[in-house]
Structure 1
Amino acid sequence: MNNEQETMNYGMTSCARFPLLLKAMNSSMLVSAHNLDCLFVISSDGDDLRVEHVRLQQLLGIALSDDQQRLSLAAYHQIWDYRRITEQSGDASSANAFSGHDSLYFPCGSITTGHLNTHDLAWGKEGLFLVNTRFNCVARAVYGKSFEFVWKPPFISELVAEDRCHLNGLAMKDGVPAYVSYFSGTDQHYGWREGSSFQGAVMRIGDNQIVADGLSLPHSPRIHNGYLYFCESGTGRLWRCKENSLPASRSDLELVAELNGFTRGLRLVGDMAFIGLSVVRPAKDGLKRHVDMPLLHMQTSLASGVIVIDLRDGSEIARLTFSGALNQIYDVELLFGSAAPRFVEIQSDEITEIFAL
């Protein structure tokens, strides 16, 4: 997409390689933008990008099952569940259901959780796991309940809706929750808002061991090819460490990339990392906090978008840049084997005439 397109007060431009990369992968990309209440669906025809959006209130985490047949989205007080249907499967009864698209994502239900401030989501062996930021715990999404408790950090003394440590990121391993990221090891209401930005950590769930600390506002831990990766958002960095070397001192961490944006949202595939970038936003309550965050003192302007990095040498492969109001990215995901997906809007009229059989 060579010319900036303005819709909903946002713009989107890409380098020439970005649409070529998606086309070569036969994939599409999902990006959650919580400040715009949108899921952006970005695909390619080889020369240009196609962009559609689905409106979902305060959207944060995105989770795909391993077979890519179930998609879950954390939107304010609900978890929305979508099913993937293809024309070949014959599971949609409307003749116009696909309209030139190669797959259809159909909203088939939701769980009302109340406002848990759910951040990361992940499908595992025992269902859908969520980071329940407001209650400082990892939980399971269960129909008929707001959540089912799974685990909390050992420094959290009680299960209360106080967002004490700002638990946010979740890494899965072998289908079970393995690592989490949080901003500060505090046990007071909104305690993470006080003091330095460098109080963050990544913790291993199995033994409650802190494996990396002294981090500036970490997000998006992921396990990939024997490494633990995570974003140190306040510095714009992506780090990794061999999992068998954990816990890691600062000298054990390997810097993969340092970028000009708040790194949050990470999808790893092969030798590539798709990384979400955001600008630093003012606190909603108007108060100043984390004034020592390195990104606040960068001489270059901060960018928002998605950058693709070569994990072998940290070089940039491709970049998608956002502008205007599209400046707060939470999660990035890839739909494999779907170069032109269609998402059915929950509130649209067309949903009344599409039937998943």
Structure 2
Amino acid sequence: MSERPISPEVAASPSGAGVQMHASRLFVSWLAEQHASIAFTTYQGGKIFFVGVNANGELAIFNRNLARVMGVAVHEHTLWIATLWQLWRFENVLKPGERYGAYDRYYVPQLAYTTGDIDVHDVGVDADGDPIFISTLFSCIARPDPKYSFTPIWKPPFVSRYAAEDRCHLNGLAMRDGQAAYVSCVARSDANEGWREHRRTGGLIIDVASNEIVCSGLSMPHSPRWHNGTLYLLNAGTGEFGRVDLQTGQFIPIAFCPGFLRGLSFSGDYAVVGLSMQRKGSALSDLLLDENLAERGIQARCAVQVIDLKRGDVVHELRLGGAIEELFDTAIIPGARNCGSVGFISDEIRHTLFLRE
């Protein structure tokens, strides 16, 4: 267990594995003002990172290795984290005001559902505090099951059956009032990986309750989120963060971010967005994003950006370099200053005990 601080303008390697991070000048101050920490995941690097502020007012970076980690959901003192073949519940074992070393949140893995490799993307938490998730491989919303790999609870109306074929690349989940409200998918397809032929303009947002398509013509949309009465999303194939006008069905861009966008969370009047670099010859390339980047004379970057919802400006950034080039999800942990977690590999997990009083 270690804390890896970096100053706001100095690059560092918080993982010891060739990862550098560089924060914009006022990023630390913003984190302190929000009274929150940020978690973000990278399946490419197999890590979850916690970003906060240490006791000296410096940026604190903490990470743990998790196999192909993707979606993460925060619910009170719980983190639900999707990995290659499991859905994990990590629990904060500290009471309010209590610390464990440098940390005011300390997450311990307490429960895991074995799902198999069903390509879990976004994770949500319902009104009962139970997790639900997107299985992209099976094109459905599902729940973990104590006996089976998962229990499917919804699929798009144009998908004829549950099959391990990634037919439409269902990927994003927006929760509203404790219910699954909207999903994103790359195309209206009912064939094995049929979405790949429609990456530029085939993207959809679907209302789960009504089965209606509420927005279309998108390019690889990800991370729909309901926040303060508005449906936001990442139009990843164009590099645009924006909102959906549910009256007209139009996507309204708010900000351009130079990267393939995945992972959206909110802290008050700010959005936190994950940016990825593009893999040539992959689903992340040959998109309108390429043209938008060229028009602005920039290259795609790997970063976490903070966007002011009132002005549409990118106001803060944590840029990643080195071994990590792609992110998947972001999450805000409200009230947390500096987060840590038990790992699986060292003996530390054997000796970390927290007892009910």
TM-score, scaled relative to structure 2: 0.91
Does residue 1:269 correspond to 2:267, yes or no?
Answer: yes
1:10 alignment partner, one of 12, 16, 19 = 19
Q: What is the distance in 2 between the residues matched to 1:100 and 1:200?
A: 44
Q: Tell me whether 189-198 or 309-318 shows the greater mean CA deviation.
A: 189-198
Give the whole-Å Cα distance in 2 for the aligned partners of 1:269 and 1:175: 18
Q: Which runs of 5+ in 1 are unaligned?
A: 91-96
Instruction: Report the counterpart of residue 103 of structure 1 in structure 2.
Output: 105
Q: Which moved more, 1:259-268 or 1:163-172?
A: 259-268
Structure 2: runs of 5 or more not aligned: 1-6
Task: Give the distance between the partners of 2:150 and 2:311, measured in 1 at CA.
Answer: 41
Contact 1:226 1:242 survives alignment (8 Å): no
Report the counterpart of residue 41 of structure 2 in structure 1. 32
C-alpha offsets along residues 30-68 of structure 1, whole Å, 9 cap, x if unaligned?
Answer: 010110000011111364311111100001000111xx2
Q: Counterpart in 2 of 1:93? A: none
Alignment of 1:1-357 (within 5 A): 1=7, 2-6=9-13, 7-45=16-54, 47-65=57-75, 68-87=76-95, 98-126=100-128, 127-243=130-246, 245=247, 248=249, 250=250, 253-283=251-281, 292-297=286-291, 298-299=293-294, 300-357=298-355
> Residue 79 and residue 289 in structure 1: after superposition, are their counterparts in 2 closer, same or farther (change >3 A)?
closer
Most deviating of 289-298 and 299-308: 289-298
Q: Distance in 2 between matches of 1:130 and 1:289?
A: 22
CA contact (8 A) 2:167 2:193 kept: yes
- After superposition, the C-alpha distances for 1:123-176 in whole angstroms (9 at most, x for unaligned) are 112421100100000011222221111100011011111101100000001101
CA distance in 2, matches of 1:264, 1:206: 24
Q: Any runs of at least 4 consecutive aligned residues in structure 1 with deviations exceeding 6 A, and if so which?
A: none
What residue identity is the alignment partner of 1:98?
Y
Q: Secondary structure at the match of 2:289?
A: helix
- Tell me the alpha carbon deviations over residues 67-95 of structure 1, each in whole angstroms, 9 at most, x when there is no partner: x21111100000111111215588xxxxx
- Separation (CA, whole Å) in 2 of partners of 1:271 and 1:344: 32
| Aligned residue-pair number | 340
Indicate if the aligned counterparts of 2:236 and 2:261 stay in contact, CA closer than 8 A: yes
**Between 218-227 and 332-341, the greater mean CA deviation after superposition:** 332-341
Deviation for aligned residue 1:326: 1.6
Q: Contact 1:193 / 1:290 at 8 angstroms: preserved in 2?
A: no
User: CA separation in 2, counterparts of 1:199 and 1:139?
Assistant: 24
Do the aligned partners of residues 143 and 356 (structure 1) sit closer, same or farther apart at CA in structure 2, a change above 3 Å counting? farther
Contact between 2:62 and 2:339, CA under 8 Å: does it hold in 1?
no
Q: 1:43 to 1:225 in 2, by over 3 A?
A: same
1:321, 1:295 → 2: CA distance? 19
Q: CA RMSD in A?
A: 1.8
* Equivalent AA in structure 1 for residue 334 of structure 2: F
Confirm or deny: 8 A CA contact 2:168 2:193 kept in the other structure. yes
- Quick check: 1:196–1:290 contact (8 Å CA) kept in 2? no
| Alignment partners' CA distance in 2, 1:324 and 1:276 | 16
Contact 2:174 2:226 in 1 (8 A): yes
AA at the equivalent of 1:240: R
Spell out, residue by residue over 1:93-143, the C-alpha distance to the aligned partner (whole angstroms, 9 max, x if none). xxxx81232121111121110001000001112421100100000011222
Q: Distance in 1 between matches of 2:23 and 2:285?
A: 32
**Paired residue secondary structure (1:234):** coil
Change (3 A) 1:271 1:89: closer
